[in-house]
Structure 1
Amino acid sequence: MDLKNYESLCKECRIRQGFGGRKNLEEANPCFICNNLMNKLETINKALISKVNEGYEFRTFQIGVSLPSSYIEREDNIRSRLRVKGRNNIKNQFLTNLRDMFKQALNKELDYSSPDLRIDLVINEENEFFFNLVPTPIVLACKYLKKRRGIPQKQRGVAITKAQFLQDDSKYGRFFSLEEVVSEYLKQITSGVNVKFSWIGGEDKESLVLGKGRPFFAEIIKPKRRIIVEHNVSLNEKGIELFVLNASKNLPQYPMKYVSMTRISVITERLVSSKELECLTSLSNRTIWFRNKKRIISRDVHSVKIVKIDGKNFELELIAEGGLHIKQFVGGKEYCEPNISGLLGLKCECLNFDIIDVWLRGQHALEVFSDLHS
C-alpha cells in the first residue's frame, strides 16, 4: 500500500520507512513525523559550530538529543500500520546525520565513552533547539613549591581571589591559602568553573616546601580550554611556584605512595648535648605507630640525622614514609610510639618543619611524575 495514501512525509522520513525509490512523491510541508526537523539539520549544525567556537577546545565529542515524544509516537504509528520493522528511527537518523556533519566540518573525532566535549541538544515541538555544552573534566598532574611561611595548604575561613592576594599582602596575607591561589589561577588558564584537589600529603602553614616540590592532582570542572602547555612554570608569585606537568581525564585509582625528607626544628625543656641526641639515630629503619583520629596506623622511618645543635634547640633531617604526623612524632602528647620526647626522656616541641624533598613510588607515579620518582 502506498505510503502517500496514509500520511504526508518529508524525503528523509520516506526513505527511512523504505519508500525512497517511489516517484512523483511531493515534498511534504510540514512533514507528519518530524515537522520538517530533518530539513533543519544544516541550520542546527551551523549554530552548534558557532557555539563551540566560543572558546571550547576539544579533540573528541559526543552529541545527544532529546526529541518531542510525539515525533517518536507518530513514526511508531505509521510503522505499525505499514508493518515496517528493523529500520532506523527518527532519533537515530537525526543523531547520525548531525554527528557526521559536525565531525566533517571541524575534523573532530566522535567518542561514545569519554569525549572531551558532551553536547546535549533539546528540540521542542516547534523545532526550536537549545544546546548545553558540557566539557569533560581534565585532571592536571601538578607540583608546587612554597618558599614563604604562613601559607596554609588548604582553604580555611574567608576565601580570597588571587588578585586580592597579589594586591595587598597586609590585608589578605593571613587569610589566603595555596589552594585558593592555585584554584583561581587554574580556573583562569582553563576557563573552568571549579577545581577539586587531590593532595599527596600536606604540611603545616608555617612549613616551606622545597626541592622538586610536592605533587598533587587538580581536577578542573567544565574547562573550556583543555590543551595545556606542559612542563612550564604556570605560576610564580609571592613565594608560590606551581608547575603543570601533564593532563589526563582521570584521577589515579589508588593513593600514591611517597617518601619525604623533612627538616624538623625542635626545642627541649633544658640544654641537650650531642651525646644525648645520639639515641635518636636508633629511629632509623624503625616503624612508628601513632593514632590518626580513631585508628592506629604505622609509617616507616628510613633515616634520622642530627644536623644542628644550639642549646635547647636542635634540628634533624628525617626521611620517612609519607603521612607521618611530625608534631606528634616529636612531642608524643598523643599516642605515638616510639617518639623523640620519649627516647630523650625530655619534653620536646616541634617549632616548625620544612619539606626538603618528596619522592613518589610505583610505576604509575613514574609515568605521571617522572622527575619526582625515587
Structure 2
Amino acid sequence: MTELLLKNIIDSLCWTCTKRIFHFQLFTVTASCENKSYFWIQKYLEEKKLKEHNSKDFQGCGICFGLLEKYSDESFLKELADRVNNCGIQFRDFRISLTASNVSTLREKFIELLLESIPISEISLRLYNPKCLSVKELWKILTFHPLEVIMGKLYNHTSLFDVKTKFTIEDSALEADTRLLDTRSISIPEKKLSKKARLQKEIQEVGFTKPNVDLVIKESNLEKFKKYYTLPFTRTMSNFDLECTHDPIFLAGRYLKFSRILSQTKWIIEGARKFSSSIEEIMGEVLSRELGATGFVFTSSGREDIDVKCLGKGRPFTLEFMEPKRTEFTREELKKYQQLINESTTEMAVKDLQYITREQTKLMRESQENKTKSYSALCYCYSKLDEKDIEKLNSLTRVDLLQQTPIRVLHRRTVMTRSRWISDIQASLIDEHHFKIKMLTQGGTYVKEFVHGDLGRTEPSLCTILNKECDILELDVESVNCDFPPEINYDD
C-alpha cells in the first residue's frame, strides 16, 4: 500500500519537484538491508532520474506545472532573454514579476500530509523535506542569475524595468482544485465590512489567491484533501506569457508663457472646450511622442490665469510619462527635446529640461512653502493720478493683506480668509490714468484682487491705499522664485 502511494506521488512530479519535496536523505543515505521499501523507493527514484533528468521531452508536472523544468532550462531562458532584449524598451537593469497559480501550494500541502502520514518504521527515514522551497522561490533561484548572464544586465529588485512573467493553467486541469477551493468558509458577515473591505473580499472570493489557498489549507486535514484529490496528478504544462513594462519616468523644467489666450491645462467648461491647446498638451504631446510613452501627467508649481504671461525664468513643472520606451537621456537628447517643443509654438517656451527621479518630484512641493513671485501689472485708475500717488505707493515697504477667497474662483476654491504679504513695490506713472507697478509677493497671493479690492474682500488694496478706484489691465509673472529645478544652460 505504501509503495503504491509513493509511486503515485513520484509519478505526479517532475524530477526537480521530486528532489525538492522528498527528504534529501533518500538520495544520499543507505538504509538497512532489511528495509525493502527503502530500497524500492531509491531504485524507483533512480529510474525516474535516468528517464527524465536528461530528457528534453518535458511531460509537465502535477505541482509546478513545468516551471521548474521546461520554464527554467537554458533554451527557455535564452528565448526569454531574447524577447526581453528586443522588447523595444531601454533598460539598464531589470526586475522580474512572477505570476503563477497558487494551486501548487494547495497540492503540495496534500502531498506533505500524505508523506507525513507514512510511519517512519516503514521507510526508516522521514520522506518529506521540511526545508522544501516553494515553486516560486526555487524558480527565481534557477532563473535570475542565468538571465543576468544571458542578457548582460543585472537583476535589481528596485529596477524601474519590469519583466512580467505569467504562467497560467487551463481551467479543465483544475476541476478538483476548484471544488476544494469552494469549501472554504466566509467568516465575516457582509454587513460588518467597510466598502473597501467588501471590495477586497470580492476579489479574494474569485480564483486561487494566496488568502483563499491559505484559508483552505487552514481548514483542511488529510481526509478532506482525499475527498477531492486522486493520485497520480495529471502532469500538466503551464501556458507562458511575457510582458515588459517600464515604471513611469519624470522630466522637469520651467515653462515661459507669452500668450494671453493660452491656458496652462485643458480648459473645459460644461463639456465644451474653450481653447484649442494648452501648455500641458504642447509639452506633453511632443515629449510623449519622443519617449514612446502611452500617456503623461503634468504638475506645476502653481498656475497663472489664462490672460497672464509667465516670463523671466519661467514656472517650474514636472511631467510623468507612463510606460515609456526611451528611458535614458544624454544632455544632447534633452537639449533636442527642449528645442522640439520651442520650435513647435510661439505661444510658450521651455527651459532647464532635465531628467529627475520620483523622489526628486517632492522637491517642487517642498519649495512651495517658501516660494515668492515677482509680478508686473499695468493698472488703470478711474480718477486722475499724479506723482504724489506714485510716491505713496513707492513708500510702502511691506503690505500685509487679508484676502477672502476671490469671487472669480469661489466655484473651485475653499471659502476662507488668507493672510499674505506684498513687498518691494515699485510704481511708475504712464499717464494720468495709467500706471505700472512691480512687486514681490508671497506664494498664493491674489494680485488682481490686491489691485481692485474684489468688492472689499481684499484689505488693503490699491483702491483703499490711494482712495481711488483702480483696476488691472495686464498682469505678468516676472519670476517664480524657488530652487527647483536647477538651472541648465544648454548653450554651453
TM band (smaller chain): 0.7 to 0.9
Q: 1:331-342 counterparts in 2 under 5 A?
A: 331-334=452-455, 335-342=457-464
| SS of the residue 1:205 aligns to | coil
| Alignment deviations for residues 270-321 of structure 1 (CA, whole Å, 9 cap, x no partner) | 2211211222234433332212341222233231101442231111111122
- Partner amino acid for 2:362? P
Inter-CA distance 295–53: structure 2 relative to 1 (3 Å threshold): farther
CA distance in 2, matches of 1:59, 1:297: 48
Q: 1:25-174 counterparts in 2 under 5 A?
A: 25=49, 26-27=51-52, 29-37=59-67, 38-41=69-72, 42-43=75-76, 46-47=79-80, 49-51=82-84, 53-80=86-113, 81=115, 82-112=127-157, 114-125=158-169, 126-157=237-268, 174=275
Select which of 235, 245, 268 maps to 2:354. Answer: 245
Superposition deviation, residue 97 in structure 1: 2.6
Select which of 375, 379, 398 maps to 1:266. Answer: 379
Superposition deviation, residue 371 in structure 1: 6.3
Superposition deviation, residue 264 in structure 1: 0.6
Asked if residue 289 in structure 1 is aligned to residue 402 in structure 2, the reply is yes
Q: Is the 8 A contact 2:401 2:458 kept in 1?
A: yes
Q: Using the TM superposition, name which of 34-43 and 186-195 deviates more.
A: 34-43
Sequence identity percentage: 22
| Alignment deviations for residues 97-143 of structure 1 (CA, whole Å, 9 cap, x no partner) | 3332333333333333x421223322112421123434212222211
Whose strand proportion is higher, 1 or 2? 1
Whose helix proportion is higher, 1 or 2? 2
Q: Where in structure 1 do 4 or more consecutive aligned residues deviate above 4 Å? A: 1-5, 19-24
Inter-CA distance 129–149: structure 2 relative to 1 (3 Å threshold): same
| SS of the residue 2:10 aligns to | coil
**How many pairs does the alignment contain?**
353
TM-score, length basis structure 2: 0.65
User: Which ranges of structure 2 fall in alignment gaps of 5 or more residues?
Assistant: 29-44, 54-58, 116-126, 170-236, 406-413
User: Which ranges of structure 1 fall in alignment gaps of 5 or more residues?
Assistant: 159-171
Question: What is the aligned partner in structure 2 of residue 184 from structure 1?
Answer: 285
Superposed CA RMSD in Å reads 2.9
| Alignment deviations for residues 16-67 of structure 1 (CA, whole Å, 9 cap, x no partner) | 2346667442217343323433222342662464245232122343212222
| Alignment deviations for residues 136-162 of structure 1 (CA, whole Å, 9 cap, x no partner) | 12222211112333211121129xxxx
Asked if residue 16 in structure 1 is aligned to residue 20 in structure 2, the reply is yes
CA distance in 1, matches of 2:430, 2:161: 59
Q: Is the 8 A contact 2:421 2:442 kept in 1?
A: yes
| SS of the residue 2:52 aligns to | coil
Select which of 269, 276, 279 maps to 1:175. Answer: 276
Q: Is the 8 A contact 2:267 2:275 kept in 1?
A: no
- Partner amino acid for 2:401? I
Inter-CA distance 283–247: structure 2 relative to 1 (3 Å threshold): same
| Alignment deviations for residues 257-276 of structure 1 (CA, whole Å, 9 cap, x no partner) | 32222111111112211211
Question: What is the aligned partner in structure 2 of residue 162 from structure 1?
Answer: none
CA distance in 2, matches of 1:5, 1:129: 27
